[in-house]
Amino acid sequence: MEIIKTAEEMQQRALELKRAGRVVGLVPTMGYLHEGHLSLMRLARKQCDVLVVSIFVNPAQFGPNEDLEAYPRDFERDEALCEQEGVDLLFYPETENMYAGDASVRVDEDALSGVLCGASRPGHFRGVCTVVAKLFNLVQPDLAVFGEKDAQQLRIIERLVRDLNFPVGIIRGPIVREPDGLAMSSRNKYLSETQRKNALCLSRSLEQVAELFGQGEREAMVLREAMANLIRSVPEAEIDYIEIVDDTSLVTVDEIRNDVLVALAVRMGDTRLIDNLVLRP
């Protein structure tokens, strides 16, 4: 496995691979890898000749009061996991190399990014779109894999590819869960033992919604209230949002007639967790 630490070298290697006719797959990450990330690598590995994984904690997608400095990092462990998964190129740049000191160009999306996580994290998706566009230009991937746990991010990136004509196929990677149902996340590390147990309210509320939906309930307000009641009964759980939105436009729906995304964000102490599922009538 080759480790590349500068944008210039990454782009040069990518262009060499393109000229050689190699199919390049990309899995962008912020590191502190877990089984969810590894599942994305395995998906990409099946469809490419050269697998590139990026590890970059992107400051542009963190707000002023968010956990940029505290975000967990363990490059040696990440490197070993990438080697284990057969990664060919590990792109690990410094912030100063990815962003010029006077960088003044950003990539904005203004239809899908103002709701859900975007409502409580202003500027977050501008940072996501900007760094993903940069990674696509540097790595020149034929395909890229993104996880379904970050449902809004996934849909925004699909729109980014469509609207800016990036020649990149986006592959969706299913949510990977712990045995008890908690969606895997690098931020789970922050949870105390009690908070870790209480965090199961996210997946349990989604299970409850799926059960009610299976019984014929189609009123979004009823489903949201059922989720909220379950979560409010859990100590320390503070609801950021619970939304039921059209799966394509992310517009809030009152009655479920087409595919919808059920998404929620909940704080357990200082840790913000997200989860989701798609309901299909």
- Specify the pLDDT at position 151: 98
Chain mean position to CA 203: 17
- Specify the pLDDT at position 206: 98
Shared-domain flag, residues 167 and 230: no
For residue 73, is it within any domain?
yes
Shared-domain flag, residues 54 and 135: yes
| Tokens 């999306």, residue located | 109
Chain mean position to CA 19: 31
For residue 181, is it within any domain?
no
Mean pLDDT by 10 residues, the chain (281 residues): 98 98 98 98 98 98 91 97 98 98 97 97 97 98 98 98 98 98 96 98 98 98 98 97 98 98 97 98 94
- Specify the pLDDT at position 261: 98
Shared-domain flag, residues 163 and 242: no
Shared-domain flag, residues 196 and 230: yes
Instruction: Read off the CATH number of the domain in which 228 is found.
Output: 3.30.1300.10
| Residue ranges making up the domain that contains 198 | 186-279
Shared-domain flag, residues 273 and 190: yes
Instruction: Read off the CATH number of the domain in which 37 is found.
Output: 3.40.50.620
Shared-domain flag, residues 83 and 146: yes
For residue 138, is it within any domain?
yes
- Specify the pLDDT at position 111: 97
Q: Which residues are catalytic?
A: 37
For residue 236, is it within any domain?
yes
Shared-domain flag, residues 166 and 101: yes
Cα–Cα nearest to 242, from 280, 214, 201, 270: 201
User: CA-to-CA distance for 235 and 69, rounded, in angstroms?
Assistant: 27
User: CA-to-CA distance for 75 and 80, rounded, in angstroms?
Assistant: 9
For residue 223, is it within any domain?
yes
Shared-domain flag, residues 213 and 77: no
| CA dist list (Å): 158 to 118, 133, 244 | 16, 12, 20
Work out how many domains the chain is built from and give that number. 2
Model's pTM, two decimal places?
0.97
For residue 178, is it within any domain?
no
- Specify the pLDDT at position 67: 87
For residue 124, is it within any domain?
yes
